[in-house]
Amino acid sequence: MNLFFKISKKKLLMFLILMFICLGAVIFTANDYFLYNKTIAKVTDVTQTLDSSSQALINSTEDYYTQRLTATVKNGEHKGKQVTIINKYASSLVTDEKYAKGDCLFIDLKEKSDGTLKAVSTGFKRDVYAVGVVALFVFAIVLVGGRKGALSVMSVIFNMLIFYIAIELYFKGIDLFLLCCAASVIFSVGSLSMVSGLNKKTAAAVISSLCGTTVTIALAYIVLKITGGSGVRFDQMQYLIRPYEVIFISELLIGGLGAIMDISITMSSSMSELIDKDSSISFDSLRKSGVEIGKDIMGTMTNVLFFTYVCGCIPLIVLAMRNDTRFSDIMKNYLNLEIVRSFVGSIGIVITIPIAIFISSGMLKGKDAQNEKRGEA
């Protein structure tokens, strides 16, 4: 009982320290004006007037406003001075921004001939919100996951670093697909090893995820070559002037890897747990249990991929619907590429389940399986 109490106090202390670190990071970011070369001003007062209104789509009205902002300069040679900023915006906020008291803005300052300052806003200072979300994520995942949660955060940072290095190498002339293949191996080995440790379970998950990803990308590549990519709207990959196929395959590789890794470690962990609970479980029973587990997680992971890809198109879908575009045209013109990506990723999930079952059961119960075969002989 005393040992449990001591452990609980230690964990509580760690969580309190983590909470103060997260709060400190947010507070520091909210006051880090001195780190910026660009001038920052904090809005202290807002006066707003309605200029005009006009008819918009679907019986809606667009209102146009002018804001007169009083702000205090927070850094630079004019620190502490009051400036006035005129901001115009429309109620739809499609291309404009609406400001409120307490907002921190990046501004351009010019000194007039009479010595007064002219200020023009160039956008929000958003770093405090980004740091706040990251701090909340770190605190929540460590609170729930403990040591493994902390390792998960480290794996995310590790993957971000690898991704950054891969992009830098791409701009130095290295083939994009080869970089994505190498990055996928590093992602799988690094992430799973950090979270689950170096053991047979992790090894089985790594091999399963790499095999599943390889088979999925090979199938996607073969289908693209056979069909000539006629079923995919590559024109939806905006602003790209390079050949679409390589970039599309690379997207599928990196995009589907996360779900495939999730399936692989889930199946490997489940098989390991079954063996730990019943070391005498037969090879066939283990595989049958793995199939049932795979059926349960297959549908949810497929939906995760679908929603992950499609949600990025919601603004375009809403805009198209406001312009009275038919749903069939929206599916064809806006969702084609995302649906293809989600389906290819879903194929990867379905393929990875039997691969993970076979590899995990073979690696985790390999000796028992050999003994069973000898007994049958």
Q: Which tokens in the block code for residue 247?
A: 């970039």
Name residues whose C-beta falls within 8 Å of residue 30's C-beta, 6 or more positions apart in sequence.
128
Report pLDDT for 106.
Answer: 92
- Is 60 exceeded by the pLDDT of residue 96? yes
Angle between helices 283-310 and 366-376 (to 10 degrees): 140
Alpha-carbon distance of 128 to 131, in angstroms, equals 5
pLDDT, one tens digit per residue, over 12-22 is 777 888 889 88
Mean pLDDT over each residue of the chain, to the nearest integer: 81
CA distances (Å), 176 to each of 170, 182, 185, 272, in order? 6, 10, 14, 36
Q: Which tokens in the block code for residue 43?
A: 């809005």
What number is the average pLDDT over the span 228-234? 61
Name residues whose C-beta falls within 8 Å of residue 274's C-beta, 6 or more positions apart in sequence.
281, 286, 289, 290
pLDDT, one tens digit per residue, over 173-217 is 888 888 888 888 888 888 888 877 788 888 888 888 888 888 888
Angle between helices 336-364 and 200-227 (to 10 degrees): 140
- Confidence band of 7 (pLDDT split at 50, 70, 90): low
- Confidence band of 68 (pLDDT split at 50, 70, 90): very high
- Confidence band of 44 (pLDDT split at 50, 70, 90): very high
CA distances (Å), 130 to each of 25, 140, 198, in order? 11, 15, 33
Note the pTM of the prediction, 2 decimals: 0.69
Report pLDDT for 213.
Answer: 86
Residue 320, amino acid: A
Report pLDDT for 214.
Answer: 87
* Tokens 């902002």 found at: 69
* 110 class by beta-carbon count within 10 Å (0-12 exposed, 13-18 middle, 19+ buried): exposed
